[in-house]
Every structure is written in C-alpha cells, then in structure tokens.
C-alpha cells in the first residue's frame, strides 16, 4: 500500500497506460511545457501542465507520443478523433473544462456521433482529461464543473473521481474503453491523498461506490462533495444520525441500481452537486429517484447545489456559491425529523 | 501516361456520379425523399480526380455534399441509395441519411454535417499514420465556405507545425451555402490564406478531371517527400443549389450559362479521344453507368425500413446501462 495524491495517482495511471499500450498518446497545451526548445533538452516537461499532472511523461515517452499542442482545442480534439478511429488511443487534455465551448462541436457532433450515424463501423477510443471545480479563486471562466453538459450527450461517457484510488482505477479503465470518455479531475482534490495499491486493477465504468454505510439518510455526493458529505456524516454521527454516502463516480453510465438500493433502505435522500442547479446531475438523479423509488420515499428529495449564477471570484461570494458541510447537516436534520 | 484501366475507371465514375445526382434530383421532385439532399453536380471531376490518385484504404473525410466522394471512394451504390431512402440496408443502416453517407471500410472517416469538421479529423488519422510509420494518404475535402472557420485554421496550423503530410482539398465551387465566394473572400486567391501557415498550395481547374488527378498525385508525392501538408484549391461551379429545393435566386442565369461551357462532364467527353477512348468505348461506359444507377434506385425501392427500436443500437461500443426510450 502506498499513500498517493490524486495528482500522482493520475500520473501513475498515465505512465502505466503508456507502458501497457504503445497506441496511447497524449496531446494538450503545455503538457510537456514547450517541447522543442533545444536549450531545455531534458527538462522540457518540467511544467507538466498548470497542475503538473503530466510531469515526466515527455522525458519517459518522447515527443512523438507526448505532444504539446498549440492553443487550438478544436484542432487537436478533432485530431484525437481521427487518430482514435484509425487505431491510436489518444488522451487529450482540456486545460479547464470551462474551455469546453471552443471544442464542444468535436465532442458533441463528431466524437459522440460517428459510431452511431455512420452505421456502427467505427469506434472512438479517446479520453478527454479535464480540470473542473470551484474553490480556487479562479473566477467565472476557470471554475465550473459542467458535468451535465457532457452527460447529456449520447455517445459520450462521463467520469468524475473523488479520491486517488478511484482516480487511478477509473482512468485506467477510461483509457482502455472503446468509447469517448470525459474524465473530470477536480482542482481542489489533486493534493488530497489516500491509499492506492500499486497493482490496482481498472475500476469498471458504471459502478458507483458506497463510501459510508448508514441507515437514516442517503447522501448522494458528486465528486468533491463527498468531502463535505463525509464531514457532515461525522458530525451527525455524534447526535446518532446515521448517513449513507453514495458516490456514483461515473455519470454516464450511471449506476442507478446502487442509488435505488440505498434509497429503498433509507427512504430519505439528499443529492449534493457543485454545479448550477438547472438540468444538473442533481436534478437528473432526483428525477430518477422519484420515477423509480416513489413509494420508498418518506420525503421529497433535497437537492443541494450551487445557485443559478456563474462562479463568483471574491472569497466570501465563492464560498457561498459552493455547497457546504453545514448545508448538508441542516438538510439531514430536516429530513430526520420527517 | 495514365493506364487504360484507370482512364476507364475515371470515366465510369464521373458519369455514375452525374447520373446518380440527376436521378436523385428528379426523384426528389416526383416523390418524397426524407431529409435534406445536397447534390454535387459540377464537382464530379474533383471527386473522381482526387480519388483516382488514392488507394481504396487511404483515408478521406467528406461533408454533407458527399455522394460523389462516396461513389468515387468505392462505396456500394445500392447501399448509398438505400441510405438516402432511410432503409435498413443503407450504408449507415438508415441512421445517417444523405448528409452522412460514409463507409469506414472504404477509407471514409466520415461525412460531416458541420462545416470544417473534417480537416482536424483527417489530421488525426495522418498523425496516426506518421506515428505508426504507415504510409496511407490522408485527404480532407471541404468547400470554400470552410476556410473561414476556426476548426480549419487550427487543423492547418497543427498540420504544418507537426509536419503532417496530409492533403487539404478545397472545392471552390463559387458558393458558401448561398453566399458567393467573390463576396466572402478576403484574399485575392482562396489558397492565399495558407500563407500564414507557410503551407504549400496549388490551384487547379476543378472541371478537368485529369488536371485534378495530376495535381493531386504530384501533391501526395511532394507532401510525403517533404513531410508537409499541402493545400489544393480546385475551382469549379456548383450547378446544384445548396440543397434540393433551393430556389437558387442568388445564382445569376448568365453565370450558370457561362459555367455550363466548362461543365466537367462536357470536358471529359471532349477530352476522351485524347485518352484513346473511341465513341463506342465511351458509349459503353455511359450505358454501364446509367444501368448501375438505375439498378441501385430499383434496389432501394424494395428495401425494408428499419424497425423503430433499431434507433437504440450502436450508440456506444459498450454501455452497461440499458439505453431506454
């Protein structure tokens, strides 16, 4: 057992995938950090992206497979699709998910649809690694989560790991997967750590995880919200309220059965999602529960989300924007009294 | 010298495409054909000339105006026609339609409905060829309208930066949808836009199938030898509207009449003696092409519709949750 940060676990999964399959390549802005400048030979990948996640890959695997791109997401996303169709397994890095807009056509209309609309002859085994999340004082254009934007599109898969264990196991699976996968890394989780076995097997997409067993209330927590759910559950345990925490981990496909089982057990549900509320994962999960588990529910599902605003910059406002441990505790107490 | 077999192939394809497009235009007038139809009357020489320089397993991308590319690349006429009719035996199992006629097994990466989506995808295929040290030629077809789109420029920039020997083929047919090229162009020649990327470019007569073939063949060889992308601009005229049913009010009659003098089919016929095709040979090829087109449309008429639930198939390679209605 080794203690790993999310950042290192992702780097490990990349290295392992590169070693296992020569068809794996990586493309993105600054992933090496300005490949090709002769005076920096040997230290060309010192930067490894703004969060240092891809550090070392250029030196290990060379510029043919680890490609710095221009700031041209439509160009290199499109290239990843063509490369994937013809035999490579490209991983592309979208530096912040907020940049989705400049290459959304490639994901929505090409990556997601070529298999379906051209008669099932092609596959697009590519992974988009991207950075999501508020709490970095990064302002409105570098802080969104946008989970539901991609989850909405048939043909795409969406993965958002919380801890280092899941980050490694799910990235290994995503790279082996034959469909296009959006792999979302939360910038506030990169430096969090947990035990990760060196020989961790890939974790199948579409399997959620019960992070904490409990009997009174189910908290369905999306990515970083697991942190607050855990804090809330610890506090509530002191007053004899038992919370079950469900981490779906992947949003397309979604482990609906795992969610329904927990709802059947507790009959009381809170969904915590850092995204904006409208047409969000929170609203989708809540709708599925009322459709499939209506008779098991003892109260209406409570959604805790960000408000319907862009992510604000100033700390007091941003802290207000992000769902909090306190909000979860209050909601659980409210449900407990039902 | 072009070998006899290739000359026959070129003539057969160029007539097949023209007959096919004339036939589907006519049918669309007479009865309901589902969806949009973007015919390529006037582009036949570009489709055939470029494809004559390729192997079957070379990679191309096409657009919503794809019938000619698909036919020239070797897609089955029966399957193309069935697809346009929305039938189960269509080339995309009825899930694509006229705008998305594409057969991966014939080297087609896709026929994209989004303008300028193709070049970056072809760049990726060409990158793969480079990394795997394979040598398939990679060609992206697009219209003059695509050259203002960012996705084209991003692909062009990366192709040059990465020394990718792909071929950009711009069909400059005079119109970006309903907007005339001479109105939308900022540069003197369309291919001047590649100067910013220090990319080689050549301009050719897109009505002359042998000129298109010749330029493409040389460009492929030069691109591979110099490890560089090359941009080809072929000038032609779009006799069809943007789509069938387009009133074409924006295309002046005198312009159309003038363009008719350089109709690629007319030029091909006039040039036939230069390529040792006598009148009988030519007639035989024309009749064969007509017959094959007739058969394909007869075939499509008899084909079954897909079951409604077939709509749920092949969204993913593998999805553990049932795709529900």
pLDDT at B31 over 90: no
Determine, for residues A115 and B315 on separate chains, whether the beta-carbon distance falls below 8 Å. yes
High-pLDDT (> 90) share of chain B, %: 94
pLDDT reported for residue B325: 61
Token look-up 């993105």 returns A28
Q: Please, which residues 295-314 of chain B have a Cβ atom closer than 8 Å to chain A?
A: 313-314
**Nearest residue in A to B139, CA atom:** A82
Torsion sign over Cα A319, A323, A324, A329: positive
Q: Give the separation between CA A317 and CA B242, rounded to whole angstroms.
A: 51
Determine, for residues B122 and A82 on separate chains, whether the beta-carbon distance falls below 8 Å. yes
The residues, ordered by sequence, that sit 6+ positions from B154 with a Cβ below 8 Å of its Cβ are A70, A72, A73, A74, A75, A76, A78, B120
Q: What pLDDT band is residue B1 in, cutting at 50, 70 and 90?
A: confident
Range of the domain at B83: 4-305
pLDDT at A337 over 90: no
Q: Report pLDDT digits (tens) over B145-195.
A: 999 999 999 999 999 999 999 999 999 999 999 999 989 999 999 999 999
Q: Please, which residues 68-97 of chain B have a Cβ atom closer than 8 Å to chain A?
A: 90-93, 95-96
Nearest to B224 by CA among B171, B168, B167: B167
Q: Is residue B314 part of a domain?
A: no
Number of independent structural domains in chain B = 1
Q: Touching check for B114 and chain A: CB below 8 Å? A: yes
Which tokens is A223 given? Answer: 């990515």
Q: Is residue B154 part of a domain?
A: yes
Q: Give the separation between CA B165 and CA B134, rounded to whole angstroms.
A: 12
**Nearest residue in A to B61, CA atom:** A82
DSSP B112-166: ESSTT-HHHHHHHHHHHHHHTT----EEEEEEGGGGGSHHHHHHHHHHHHTT---
**Nearest residue in A to B90, CA atom:** A119
For A250, A295, B54, B65, B218, the CA distances from A112, given in Å and listed in that order, are 17, 36, 28, 21, 36
Which tokens is B237 given? Answer: 């005229």
The neighbouring-strand residues paired with B76 are none
Mutation target among B154, B157, B229 for the A interface, most CBs of A within 10 A: B154
Could you say which of B92, B153, B155 has the minimum Cβ distance to residue A117? B92
Q: What pLDDT band is residue A43 in, cutting at 50, 70 and 90?
A: low
- The edge-to-edge listing of strands for the beta sheet with A89-94 is A66-68, A24-28, A89-94, A127-132, A181-186, A157-159, A250-252
Q: Report pLDDT digits (tens) over A118-151.
A: 999 999 999 999 999 999 999 999 999 999 999 9
The neighbouring-strand residues paired with B202 are B232
What backbone torsions phi and psi does residue A269 show, to the nearest 5 degrees? -135, 140
pLDDT reported for residue A42: 53
Q: Report pLDDT digits (tens) over B215-240.
A: 999 999 999 999 999 999 999 999 99
Nearest to A155 by CA among A190, A135, A128: A128
Could you say which of A75, A119, A120 has the minimum Cβ distance to residue B151? A75
Could you say which of B153, B162, B314 has the minimum Cβ distance to residue A115? B314
Per-domain residue ranges of chain A: 2-196, 209-336
Which tokens is B263 given? Answer: 């109709």
pLDDT reported for residue A48: 81
A313/chain B closest Cα distance in angstroms: 30
**Nearest residue in A to B313, CA atom:** A116
Q: Report pLDDT digits (tens) over B232-282.
A: 999 999 999 999 889 999 999 999 999 999 999 999 999 999 999 999 999
Determine, for residues A157 and B316 on separate chains, whether the beta-carbon distance falls below 8 Å. yes
B313/chain A closest Cα distance in angstroms: 8
A2-196 maps to CATH 3.40.980.10: no
Q: Which CATH number covers residue B87?
A: 3.40.50.970
Q: Which residues from chain B sit within 8 angstroms of residue A178, using beta carbons?
A: 317-318
Q: What pLDDT band is residue B84 in, cutting at 50, 70 and 90?
A: very high
pLDDT reported for residue A57: 92
pLDDT reported for residue B44: 98
Q: Tell me the pairing of strands A209-212 and A181-186.
A: unpaired
Mutation target among A78, A116, A178 for the B interface, most CBs of B within 10 A: A78
Q: Give the separation between CA B268 and CA B289, rounded to whole angstroms.
A: 15
B274/chain A closest Cα distance in angstroms: 40
pLDDT at A40 over 70: no
- The matching CATH number, chosen from 3.40.50.920, 1.10.290.10, 2.40.50.140, 3.40.50.150, for A209-336 is 3.40.50.920
Token look-up 């219209």 returns B143
Q: What pLDDT band is residue A306 in, cutting at 50, 70 and 90?
A: very high
Nearest to B205 by CA among B92, B320, B46, B63: B46
Q: Give the separation between CA A311 and CA B46, rounded to whole angstroms.
A: 50
Could you say which of A70, A86, A119 has the minimum Cβ distance to residue B128? A86
pLDDT at A338 over 80: no
pLDDT reported for residue A36: 54
Q: Specify the 3-state DSSP secondary structure of A147.
A: helix
pLDDT reported for residue B309: 95
How many contacts (CB atoms, under 8 Å) link A and B? 167
Mean pLDDT for all residues in chain B: 96
Which whole number is the average pLDDT over A300-328? Answer: 98
Q: Is residue B320 part of a domain?
A: no
Nearest to B133 by CA among A121, A22, A80, A92: A22
pTM, rounded to two decimals: 0.96
**Nearest residue in B to A74, CA atom:** B151
Torsion sign over Cα A218, A219, A222, A227: negative
Residue A152 bears catalytic tag: no
Residue A110 is given by DSSP the state I
pLDDT reported for residue B173: 94
């Amino acid at each position: 057992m080794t203690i790993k940060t999310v950042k290192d676990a992702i780097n490990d999964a990349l290295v392992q995938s590169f070693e296992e399959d020569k068809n794996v390549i990586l493309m993105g802005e600054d992933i090496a950090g300005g490949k090709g400048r002769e005076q920096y030979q040997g230290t060309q990948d010192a930067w490894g992206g703004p969060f240092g996640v891809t550090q070392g890959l250029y030196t290990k695997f060379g510029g043919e497979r680890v490609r710095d791109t221009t700031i041209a997401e439509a160009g290199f996303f499109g290239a990843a699709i063509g490369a994937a169709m013809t035999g490579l397994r490209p991983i592309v890095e979208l530096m912040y998910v907020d940049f989705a807009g400049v290459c959304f056509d490639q994901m929505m209309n090409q990556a997601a649809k070529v298999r379906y609309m051209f008669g099932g002859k092609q596959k697009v085994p590519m992974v988009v690694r991207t950075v999501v999340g508020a709490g970095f004082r990064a302002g409105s254009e570098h802080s969104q989560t946008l989970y539901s934007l991609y989850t909405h599109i048939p043909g795409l898969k969406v993965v958002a790991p919380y801890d280092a264990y899941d980050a490694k196991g799910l990235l290994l699976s995503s790279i082996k997967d034959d469909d296009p996968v959006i792999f979302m890394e939360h910038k506030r989780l990169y430096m969090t750590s947990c035990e990760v076995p060196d020989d961790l097997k890939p974790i199948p997409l579409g399997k959620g995880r019960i992070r904490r067993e409990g009997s009174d209330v189910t908290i369905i927590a999306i990515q970083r919200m697991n942190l607050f759910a855990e804090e809330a559950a610890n506090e509530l345990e002191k007053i004899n309220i038992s919370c079950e925490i469900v981490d779906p981990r992947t949003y397309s496909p979604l482990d609906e059965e795992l969610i329904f089982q927990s709802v059947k057990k507790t009959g009381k549900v809170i969904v915590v999602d850092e995204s904006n509320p409208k047409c969000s994962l929170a609203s989708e999960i809540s709708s599925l529960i009322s459709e499939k588990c209506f008779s098991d529910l003892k109260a209406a599902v409570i959604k805790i989300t960000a408000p319907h605003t862009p992510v604000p910059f100033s700390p007091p406002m941003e802290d207000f924007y992000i769902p909090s441990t306190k909000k979860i505790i209050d909601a659980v107490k409210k449900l407990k009294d039902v | 010298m072009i070998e006899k077999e290739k000359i026959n192939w070129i003539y057969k394809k160029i007539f097949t495409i023209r007959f096919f497009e004339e036939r589907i235009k006519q049918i669309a007038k007479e009865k309901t054909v589902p969806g949009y139809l973007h015919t390529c009357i006037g582009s036949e020489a570009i489709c055939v000339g470029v494809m004559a320089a390729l192997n079957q397993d070379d990679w191309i991308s096409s657009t919503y105006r794809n019938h000619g590319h698909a036919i020239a690349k070797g897609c089955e006429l029966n399957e193309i026609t069935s697809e346009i009719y929305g039938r189960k035996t269509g080339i995309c199992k009825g899930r694509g339609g006229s705008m998305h006629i594409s057969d991966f097994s014939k080297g087609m990466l896709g026929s994209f409905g989004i303008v300028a989506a193709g070049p970056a995808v072809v760049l990726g295929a060409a990158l793969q060829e480079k990394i795997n040290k394979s040598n398939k030629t990679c060609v992206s077809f697009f219209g003059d309208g695509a050259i203002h789109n960012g996705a084209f420029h991003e692909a062009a920039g990366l192709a040059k930066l990465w020394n990718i020997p792909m071929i950009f083929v711009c069909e400059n047919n005079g119109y970006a949808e309903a907007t005339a090229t001479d109105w939308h162009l900022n540069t003197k020649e369309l291919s001047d836009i590649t100067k910013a990327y220090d990319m080689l470019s050549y301009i050719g007569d897109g009505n002359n199938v042998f000129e298109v073939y010749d330029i493409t063949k040389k460009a492929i060889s030069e691109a591979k030898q110099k490890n560089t992308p090359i941009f080809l601009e072929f000038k032609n005229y779009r006799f069809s509207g943007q789509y069938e049913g387009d009133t074409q009010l924006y295309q002046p009659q005198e312009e159309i009449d003038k363009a008719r003098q350089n109709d690629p089919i007319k030029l091909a016929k006039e040039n036939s003696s230069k390529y040792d095709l006598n009148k009988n040979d030519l007639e035989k090829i024309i009749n064969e092409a007509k017959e094959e087109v007739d058969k394909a449309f007869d075939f499509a008429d008899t084909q079954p519709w897909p079951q409604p639930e077939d709509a749920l198939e092949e969204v993913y390679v593998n999805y553990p949750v049932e795709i529900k209605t």
